Amino acid sequence: MITVSLQWIAAAVDGELQGEHCTINKVSTDTRSLPPGCLFIALKGPHFDAHDFISDAIDQGATAIMVERPIDMDTRRGVAQIIVPNTRHALGQLGAAVKAQVAPKTIAITGSSGKTSVKEMLAAILQTRGDVLATRGNFNNDIGCPLTLLRLEPQHEFAVIELGANHPGEIAYTTRLTMPDVAIINNVAPAHVEGFGSVHGVFRAKTEIFRGLGPAGIALTPAHSEFAECWQQELAERTHFTFGRQSDDVQPHIAATDVELNDQGCASFTAHIPAGLSTLEPTAQTARVQLSLPGLHNVDNALVAIAAALAVGCALADAASALNQLTPVSGRLNVMTLTPQLRLIDDTYNANVGSVKAALDTLAAYPGFRLMILGDMGELGAQARQYHEEVGAYAIQAGIDNLFTLGVLSQSASEVFNGRGGRHFSQFDALIEGVIEAVQQAKAPMTILAKGSRSAHMERVIEALTTRQNELQPGYTEKGKHAC
C-alpha cells in the first residue's frame, strides 16, 4: 500500500479522526493475520462484529483503528481512531482512493468461469511491460476487491482485478471502485444461480461491470455467447470488441483461426487483432500463438487476455511469448504425470456447468481411456439436478469412457451416464478404491480428471491418488505385476 496519513484516510472515507496523527502503509480486517503498524478496519456482518476484537488488534500492533462506534480511550490505549457510519463502505472508499492515487492502467474481469485463467494470462503478458498488481485467490467480492486495491504501490503500472458476485449489484459496486480502462466479460453460464434466479439474472449481474467503464474505456465480450446481441445493443455507444473462435456463423472482432491441439491437449491458433485496438500498432495484426495450458476453451481465454493487454500498451509478440511460458495454477487444469501411462488432471478449484463442459472437452482430447471424477456443482438453485444431468449427457457426447461421481447432486450425472460405466459413490474412501480398481483394469494410456465446486472438496481426490501413486498403473495387480 502507498504511505498515507490518517488525515488523508479520514478525508477519503468521510470519517472523523480522533487521536494522534501518523502515517499508515498497511491495512488489515483480520486479527488472525494482522501486521504491526497497520490500520485495523472493524468490519461488521450478519454473524460477526470485529469491534469485539479491537483489543486483540491493538495487542498485535495496530497503530490506528477504523470503527462505526467510538471506542473509549482505555480500550484503545491511546491508539487513533477514525469513526465512520459504515466500515464496509469505508473500506471500499479507501480502496478506490488508493487506486485513484496510484492510477495504474486497470483491467477488470468477470465471468461465470475462467476468470482466474484470464487474470493469470493477462498478468503474465503485462509483466513484459511493467509491474503488475493482480487479484490474489478469491479476493473478488465487495471486501476482497478493495483489499486488493489497497495493495497498490507507486511502482504498479497495471492492475488486473477479478470481480465476482453472488447477488445483483455487487459487481456494479466493485467496478465503481475499480474504474477500469478495460472491462471483460469472459462468459455467462449457470453459476451462483441461487443468488440471481436464472442464467439471465447472471447475465444482468455480469453486465454491471461496464457501469464503471469511463468514456474512453474498452468493453470485451464473447462473440459466441447467447447474450452477444444484448451486449451489442447495450454497448452501442461504447468502444466494444467481441472475441472468440471464427466460424461461418460468427465473425468476432478479435478472432482465432487454424486452431490445433497437440498431444498434451494444448492449443495453438492464429490470433487476428483488428485495427484500432492496440495502442502500439494502429493497423490490424496477426500472430501464431502456442499455449502451454491444456484445453480448447483456453483459446478464448488467451484471445481476450491478448486483446486487453494490447489495449493498454503491450506488444502482440510479447503476448504470444508470455502465453507460451505460462504455468498452470493449482487446481485449474493442472496436469500431473503420475506414471508414463497415467495422467492426473487437477481441476478441483471450482465448478459450474460451463467449466465442467470445458473440462470434459479437455479430457476428451487426450488419447486412451478417460475417467472423469465429478463432485457436486453448488449454488445452482432449483434446477441443480437438471444441470447435473446436462453435464452427464455432455460427458457421453464428449466421448468420455467413464464418469464417477461423489455427492448428492452429482449422482444425477452418473445416472445419465449409467450403462456406459457411470458409478456413483456416497463415501469418499469407496470412491478412491473404485478409481484405483478402474485404473488397474484399464488399458494404457489413461487420463483422470477431478472436478467439483469448492464445497465438494475434490482436492481430497488429488491428494489421495498422489499418495497411492504406486497402485495407479493400468494393468496393476495385487501382486504388483502387470496382467498378461
Residues within the annotated binding site for ATP? 111-117
- Rounded CA gap, 310 and 202, in Å? 28
Element (H, E) at 157: strand 156-162
Nearest to 358 by CA among 203, 227, 186: 186
Q: Where in 355-398 does DSSP place strands (E)?
A: 369-375
- Residue 79: how many other CB atoms lie within 10 Å: 20
C-beta of residue 181 within 8 angstroms of C-beta of residue 218: yes
Starting at the edge strand found earlier in the chain, the sheet holding 402-406 runs 334-339, 342-347, 446-451, 369-375, 402-406, 423-425
C-beta of residue 438 within 8 angstroms of C-beta of residue 371: yes
Binding-site entries: 111-117
- Residue 257: how many other CB atoms lie within 10 Å: 12
Name the β-bridge partners of 27.
Answer: 39
C-beta of residue 351 within 8 angstroms of C-beta of residue 377: yes
Helices in 157-207 by DSSP H: which ranges?
170-178, 193-196, 199-207
Peptide bond connecting 367 to the previous residue in cis, omega within 30 degrees of 0: no
- Rounded CA gap, 422 and 420, in Å? 6
C-beta of residue 199 within 8 angstroms of C-beta of residue 190: yes
**Which triple of cell numbers denotes residue 120?**
493469470
Give the β-pairing of 254-261 and 239-245.
parallel
C-beta of residue 412 within 8 angstroms of C-beta of residue 436: no
- Rounded CA gap, 422 and 468, in Å? 23
C-beta of residue 288 within 8 angstroms of C-beta of residue 270: yes
Report which DSSP code applies to 272. E
Nearest to 101 by CA among 148, 153, 39: 153
**Which triple of cell numbers denotes residue 113?**
468461469
- Rounded CA gap, 399 and 403, in Å? 11
